Amino acid sequence: KKSGLRGRGGAGFPTGMKWSFLAKPEGVPRYLVCNADESEPGTFKDRYLMTHIPHALIEGMIVSSFALGAHTSYIYVRGEMMPQIRILERAIAEAKEKGFLGKNILGSGYDLEIYVQPGGGAYICGEETALLESLEGKRGNPRIKPPFPAIAGLYNCPTVVNNVESIATTVPIINLGGEEYAKIGVERSTGTKLISASGNIVKPGVYEIELGLPVEEFIYSDEYCGGIANGKRMKAVVAGGSSVPILPANLILKTAAGNSRLMTYESLADGGFQTGTMLGSGGFIVFDEDQCVVRNTWNFARFYHHESCGQCSPCREGTGWMEKVLHKIESGHGSMSDIDLLWDVQRKIEGNTICPLGDAAAWPVAAAIRHFRDEFEWHILHPEESQTRNYGLAHYADPLQPIVS
């Protein structure tokens, strides 16, 4: 709790608080489950961590399991990540050989076994309760909450589910001390964060940044993304994976009040969804002036329609409607009423599903219409032209007029 660590998987919930909710009934086992089912478009930092520094995760699993009183822990890995699964299994074997896993670890009297469980490739299993259902051998459908996993999780026992990066971060927190770690970063965004940078930038890759870094520096500094590729201008950014609202260039660099936007949970969210977004999973996708927002929104909608588990009617039906209507507009067959239909459908999905996948599908559509409505209208008014060229940069990089309160 002293470190101020927040979940690195997307929601940003305080990790120490999440651990404190874990029930401790007598005679009932507790479990730690690592969510390595990284599937969000634009996010690949956990895969990088598991590939190149797997022992950071294994050490974090040991430290976290000991703190939680868990004697059996699991790493649930996306099924397509077979190289990472083999790497983790080898790292676990090496840790066991050195006496860091198994019975009576280093003579401490503490026992721990860690198992790697491949998933089936379903994005929905990144939702913690769907993950637990899958881990138990059932269909990966999200559970109704409450009860929360901390009370009734894996096999109906108290369970903590944390992201790969969150668990790996416990090691430097132990080494530095919680209060020292909290000095890194700013305000309630403490420590460092892995960012998956992709899109139309000079240097795509995974970057570890200190939270509080200006967004402009992250995009244009040679130390990080190196600017926009091929001398183009930036049009828009998805800052935290495909599920967070897209922002035009002028709003990702500055808040509506005219302040520099920072790589923190609070600064990116400044202005709410009207003028802000979320840090999310750290999937930072940059679009240049040649990119089509309508086409990219359709691509995201296709993904969420395909990955919906179908349990909730608003998500099951709504994601399909959004995909079809967006495709209709993108292919030059849309009408003005389609924009209002999209807005109405996304509004009926948000907040009306068991898990956040419905919200994740609705938010990108809402933000695209909110900030790029004129591009949608251009596709409808110029159907033939929209098939041969993109709308371009338009006014999306124009300086903002600061809002005076």
pLDDT in tens, 291-312: 999 999 999 999 999 999 999 9
HSE at residue 359, side-chain half, CA atoms within 13 A, is: 13
Apex 268 CA angle, 265 and 269, nearest 5: 80
Give me the domain span that covers residue 20: 15-176
Residue 9: per-residue pLDDT: 84
Per the structure, the count of domains in the chain is: 3
Distance CA 216, CA 201 (A): 13
63 has pLDDT over 80: yes
Question: Percentages helix, strand, coil for the chain, rounded to the nearest 5?
Answer: 45, 15, 40
Closest CA to 211 of 18, 39, 8, 44: 8
User: 269 and 222 share a domain?
Assistant: yes
Rounded CA separation 254/215 (Å)? 9
- The pLDDT-based confidence of 106 (bands split at 50, 70, 90) is very high
User: Is residue 33 classed as helix, strand or coil in its secondary structure?
Assistant: strand
Same domain, 164 and 25: yes
pLDDT at 405: 46
Report the mean per-residue pLDDT for the chain: 95
Within a domain: residue 402? no
How do residues 21-53 score in pLDDT, each as one tens digit?
A: 999 999 999 999 999 999 999 999 999 999 999
Dist CA 16 CA 191 (whole Å):
14
Last residue of a domain, one of 288, 317, 350: 288
One domain for residues 360 and 340: yes
Asked if residue 94 and residue 21 are part of one domain, the reply reads yes
Task: Please state the rounded mean pLDDT for residues 242-270.
Answer: 94
Cα–Cα distance for residue pair 94/116, rounded to 1 Å: 14
Q: What CATH number corresponds to the domain at position 380? A: 1.20.1440.230
User: How would residue 400 be classed by pLDDT, with cut points 50, 70 and 90?
Assistant: confident
Same domain for 275 and 305:
no
Residue 201 and residue 85 share a domain: no
Q: Could you please report the per-residue DSSP string of 137-185?
A: TS--PPPPSSSPTTTS-GGGS-EEEEEHHHHHHHHHHHHH-HHHHHTSE
The domain boundary, picked from 132, 150, 176, lies at 176
Residue 330 backbone phi and psi in degrees, to 5:
-65, -35
Question: Of the candidates 67, 63, 48, which has an alpha carbon nearest to the alpha carbon of residue 95?
Answer: 63
Q: Measure the CA dihedral 204/209/215/219, to 10°.
A: -20
pLDDT digits (tens, 9 = 90+) for 196-218: 999 999 999 999 999 999 999 99
Which of 99-133 are b and which e, b meaning 16 or more Cβ less than 10 Å from the residue's Cβ?
ebbeeebeeeeeebebebbbbeebbbbbbbbbbbb
**Residue 74: its H or E element:** strand 72-77
Asked if residue 258 and residue 167 are part of one domain, the reply reads: no
**The two three-digit tokens of residue 332, written as one number:** 């030059």
State residue 397's pLDDT score: 84
* Cβ-contact 293, 236 below 8 angstroms: yes
- Confidence tier at 403 by pLDDT (50, 70, 90): low
